[in-house]
Amino acid sequence: MLVLACAVVVAVASIEGSGSRAGTTSPPARTLSLDCLPFAPPKSVGALNAQIARYRSVPGFVGADVGASVTLHDGRSLWVFGDTLRQADEPGQRIVRNSMLMFSPGCATVVSPTDHGAVIPDRSDGVGYWPMDLGVVEKPGYDLVGVSLQRVRSTGTGSFDFEILGPAIALLEIAPGAAPELLLVNDLGPDDPDSERPMWGAAVETVGDVAYIYGTAQPNDHSAFGWSLQVARAPIGRVTDPSTWRYWDGRRWQRDPTRAAVLIPAVKGVSEVLSVFHRGRRWYAVSKRDEMLGTDLVIWSAPSATGPFTPGDALAKIPSDSKDGVLRYMPLAHPDLLPSKDRIVVSYSRNTADLQRLLNEPGLYRPRFLQVPLP
């Protein structure tokens, strides 16, 4: 249905030895369950888009944005989504901050909490979590899945009445064939809506035992429509501990996050959430230039994780439309979906600022896929 494979990995190899954990919380005791609904994986981008357009809503899931996934070691795919619209007759909230789908041969399943809330629950003060990326590490008898998140707080009742307070990481344990079990949620740093503070985890990629953690930031003076890009790195086994992170300052890896070099500037910059991945020795950042107000799907390429990142030509036009009111944003790359040596499948989210229209036409709140050449 939505996003099938996102190659960025938040590789969390252990829960132990994390050092300082600002805001670590134990999730409330509850059960996550799975129900199988028939599903046939599409074999082309055209078939995928056709399936999305006509696919009936599944219980607990009508539409959502973001979309990222990993393949578990038992062969299933786990997908995560942001604000998720549910059927009006579903118990609980009509819209929840995040949700999960699980896909196995012939089955599409919604990961359903017994309290009918978000899979990664809101904090007690109402702050919720939007997913950005996720990944999996195989452990004896189970998979450990890490999800990078944004902390978000409502400021009103409108679609865009919210503020983002900083990043977080969630860990889930998933045994073969079983539903996920949420282990912990770790807020990284204090709540702070300052957009000039990088949103670390906007994209993550691993090489060997090192996780490269990309952050995005935007000037508070509204001098840019896009976001800038910076990078940190950490040992896979201690990525939940920010004291182990080192930040690229343009010359070397060092401890001070305020000295992180800008790899892509905010002017004509990337989306707040994007994809960064590598093939061989080449690195790619896939995003929409100037995000919501821009039009161009662009791939920046680089010889290493630290750049320099050079933008290519626009590969597709995905403008938000002031006439029909449809917003098009946050393209994500899916290297494992219909894999090709020299092309990449990209999805982008769709939405509308008119909440009532979204409730009446939930098909608007589903992504579109396209396939584009790599630079």
With b for 16 or more beta-carbon neighbours within 10 A and e for fewer, the 193-216 pattern comes to eebebbbbbbbbbbeeebbbbbbb
Instruction: Decide which of 3.40.50.10490, 2.115.10.20, 3.40.50.300, 1.10.1740.10 is the CATH code for 24-373.
Output: 2.115.10.20
The dihedral built from the CA positions of residue 1, 93, 365 and 146, taken in this order, carries a sign that is negative
What per-residue confidence (pLDDT) applies to 9? Answer: 32
The rounded distance, in Å, linking the Cα atoms of 375 and 370 is: 16
pLDDT in single tens digits along all 375 residues of the chain = 333 323 223 333 333 333 334 455 656 555 677 777 777 888 899 988 887 777 666 778 889 998 887 789 998 988 899 999 988 888 888 899 999 988 888 888 889 898 889 999 999 999 999 999 887 788 899 998 889 999 999 998 777 789 999 999 998 999 999 999 999 999 999 999 999 999 999 998 888 888 899 999 999 998 999 999 999 999 887 888 889 999 999 999 999 999 999 999 999 999 999 999 999 999 999 999 999 999 999 999 999 999 999 999 999 999 998 788 899 999 999 888 888 989 999 999 999 988 888 888 888 898 899 999 998
Longest dimension (CA), the chain: 56
In the block, residue with structure tokens 């134990």:
26
Question: pTM for this structure?
Answer: 0.87
Peptide bond into 308 cis (omega under 30): yes
The dihedral built from the CA positions of residue 155, 62, 288 and 215, taken in this order, carries a sign that is positive
What per-residue confidence (pLDDT) applies to 360? Answer: 86
Nearest to 242 by CA among 121, 148, 334, 362: 148
With beta carbons less than 8 A apart as the criterion, state whether 47 and 55 touch.
no
What per-residue confidence (pLDDT) applies to 91? Answer: 86
Nearest to 136 by CA among 293, 249, 9: 9
Could you report the per-residue pLDDT of 187-244, keeping only the tens digit for each? 999 999 999 999 999 998 888 888 899 999 999 998 999 999 999 999 887 888 889 9
Three state DSSP letters for the chain: CCCCCCCCCCCCCCCCCCCCCCCEECCCCCCEECCCEECCCCCCHHHHHHHHHHCCCECCECEECCCEEEECCCCCEEEEECCEECCCCCCCCCEECCEEEEEECCEEEECEECCCCCCCCCCCCCCEEEEEEEEEEEECCEEEEEEEEEEEEECCCCCCCEEEEEEEEEEEEECCCCCCEEEEEEECCCCCCCCCCCEEEEEEEEECCEEEEEEEECCCCCCCCCEEEEEEEEEHHHCCCHHHCEEECCCCEECCHHHCCCCECCCCCECCCCEEEEECCEEEEEEECCHHHCCEEEEEEECCCCCCCEECCCCEECCCCCCCCEEEEEEEEECCCCCCCCEEEEEEEEEECCHHHHHHCHHHHCCEEEEEECC
The rounded distance, in Å, linking the Cα atoms of 368 and 3 is: 10
CA geometry: angle at 222 spanning 217 and 226, to 5°? 45
What per-residue confidence (pLDDT) applies to 87? Answer: 85
Nearest to 161 by CA among 95, 228, 63: 95
In the chain, where are the structural domains located?
24-373
